[in-house]
Structure formats: C-alpha cells, structure tokens
Amino acid sequence: MKYFFSLALLGLLLTTACKNQKKETYTSVDESEKDMAIFEDGKALMENKCYLCHSPSAPQHEGRIGPPMIAIKAHYLEKYDSEAAFVEAISDFVKGPTEDKVLLKGAVRRFGLMPQQVFDDDEVRKIAAYMYAYEIEEPEWFEAHWNERGGKHKHNPGKKHKKQHGKKQNHSEMGMKYAMETKKVLGANLMGKIQQEGVLQAVKFCNEQAYPLTDSLAQKLNAKIKRVSDKPRNVANAANEEELAHIAHFKEVVAADDKVEPIMVQKGEEVHFYYPIVTNSMCLNCHGNKQSNIEPKVLTTLAELYPKDRATGYDINEVRGIWSIAFTANQ
C-alpha cells in the first residue's frame, strides 16, 4: 500500500486544490509588514496542510507515516542553496512526484512515493519560501539523526521568529486551530491504517473510532466539534439548515477558485466556526466514483456499515462537508 502513503510532500486530508499554476518569485523574508504576511501564511499553511503526514511531534519510528518537514528542508538545502532554486525544486516535485526527482530516498523506501495530486502552486511556494527563510520546528531526535548520517550542511538555517508574547488568538484562529488539531489526529490515524492494512481496514477504523477520537479532542479543547455534510455517510453527520447554507457558500467559493475564508457567527457567549472539508485524491478511495475509484470489497463494506450512505461520487477539489465548531468567546 505504499501508493497510499502521503497526502503529498506538502499536503493534506483536507487540502484545497487549485487550477491556477502561476509562479511567483519570493525574495528573502525580512521583518517588513509585507514579508511578515508571507511568513505567517507559509507557517500556517505548513502546519495546517503538511503536518498531517509530516508532523514534528510524531515518534521517530512507530506511528510516523512520513518524514518530518525538517528532513525535507535539510535534504533540499544540501542540493539547492538559493531560495529561488529551493522553492522551484519543491514546487516541481509536488506538481509531479517521480522517482528520478526524489531526494529523500530513505523516506521513499520506508513510506513510498507520494501519489500524483493537484495542489495550489501559490500555497506550495509560500510554504517552501517560509521553510527556506526561517528555522522550522523539528523533532528532538532529528539533529542527532542528521549528524549521524553525515549531513554536510547545517540542517535548519534561517531566521528565528520572535514570539509575540501576550498576543491573544482571535476567534478565527482558535476555530482553525481546533479544526486542524482534530483533522491531524483523525487523518494521521486513518493514514496509518491505510498504510499498514489498506483502505478496507481504514473504513472499519473510521466506523469504530472517528466519533470517539473526535469526542476526546472536543473535551480536551473545550469545544463542540462536528463534521457535517449535505451528503452524509453516517446520518448522524447530516447538516442542519444553517450548515447547509454554509456548505452551499463554500461550494461556490471553491468552484470559483476564490480564497476560502472561515465563517464566524456569534451566538450569545458562543462562537460558531465553519470551514470546508475539501476532497483530494486520497478521499476518492472511499468517496469517489463507485465504478472507477472505490474497490468492490470497500463498497460492500460501506453498504454494510452505512446502509444510508450518500457520500460517494466526488471528484478532487470538491466540498464534501464542513467543520462545524462551537466554543465560548472568552476561552
């Protein structure tokens, strides 16, 4: 099942694809307001879209489903010393991953080559520019590992970002944090199951563990966390009237290839946060076309577990549902 390893070198479960492949050139990031925005965008994009498979917090051996982002940075810096070349090389690999482009050969032997997928080229370039210009988070074990393998260069050069102490997260940031934290846990568990046992076992895992994992995270984060859809697999995930309206809105935004912004609604002391769940090629193994994407044995199991299943027939870059999250305004 190596093919199923990665949502992509820089990707995720829930990644927004883009038809616009326009290239941009990034200069070195400094502390100016314009470049600070690039820093913040790149950091947020990497954490929200890459850490599903490339988290710095996953164990070195058991439980890891992809190399940490610092490993990617270190290997690319060995070959590409200029920012322009570094950004271009990563962007080129993500657009068309092939064996001849691979720099992390050990990671591919362990996890497999990522599948071909569609990604927003502008977002990939922002992530790569951020990786190049700033020190990024790394596992405690990585520096010793890099030195042991005889790394030729400093593995994590770049500027240190000064933390803004006392800066309170706004409600949009909090909602996104809760959504991405839940996505990361659910996605990492799901991807690990696919990698180790295949799609069929992943379906069974979702049926048994998705709700308990989500509830556990909701308690930890002190929030109400739901994933809802206009075409639910489980009837318990059916969207209500208000959520259906938000789903319709996000469908229009994604179809138009516009920038996706979360919807925030204040209801008394509660803040309600809504954000789309967008399909990628990995999703199609369970949510794609029944004739061309989903294996017959998987279809049989889906029918047994979800007799009222409506969550099939999707293509990549389509809104399959939304995150519907509520939390108190002052937490």
Predicted confidence (pLDDT) per residue in 271-312, tens digit: 999 999 999 888 899 999 999 999 999 999 999 999 999 999
pLDDT bucket at 162, cuts 50 / 70 / 90: low
**For 2-148, which CATH class?**
mainly alpha
- Cα(70)–Cα(157) distance, rounded to whole angstroms? 10
Distance of CA 72 to the CA centre of its chain: 16
Q: 16, 260 in Cβ contact below 8 A?
A: yes
Q: 206, 190 in Cβ contact below 8 A?
A: yes
pTM above 0.75, yes or no: no
Domain boundaries, the chain: 2-148, 173-328
The pLDDT value given to residue 165: 46
Give percent above pLDDT 70 in the chain. Answer: 83
Q: Is the alpha carbon torsion for 72, 78, 80, 83 positive or negative?
A: positive
In one-letter notation, the amino acid at residue 113 is L
Supply φ then ψ for residue 154, to 5 degrees. -60, 130
Mean pLDDT score of the chain, rounded to an integer?
82
Find the range with the poorest average confidence among 52-56, 133-137, 250-254. 52-56
| Token pair in block for residue 203 | 């379906």
Give ∠ CA 228-213-301 in degrees, rounded to 5: 70
- pLDDT(6) > 50: no
pLDDT bucket at 18, cuts 50 / 70 / 90: very low
Q: Mapping DSSP to helix (H, G, I), strand (E, B) and coil, where does residue 303 land?
A: helix
Give the N- to C-terminal CA distance of the chain in Å, as an integer.
Answer: 42
- Cα(92)–Cα(79) distance, rounded to whole angstroms? 14
pLDDT bucket at 92, cuts 50 / 70 / 90: very high
Q: What is the mean pLDDT of residues 50-76?
A: 82
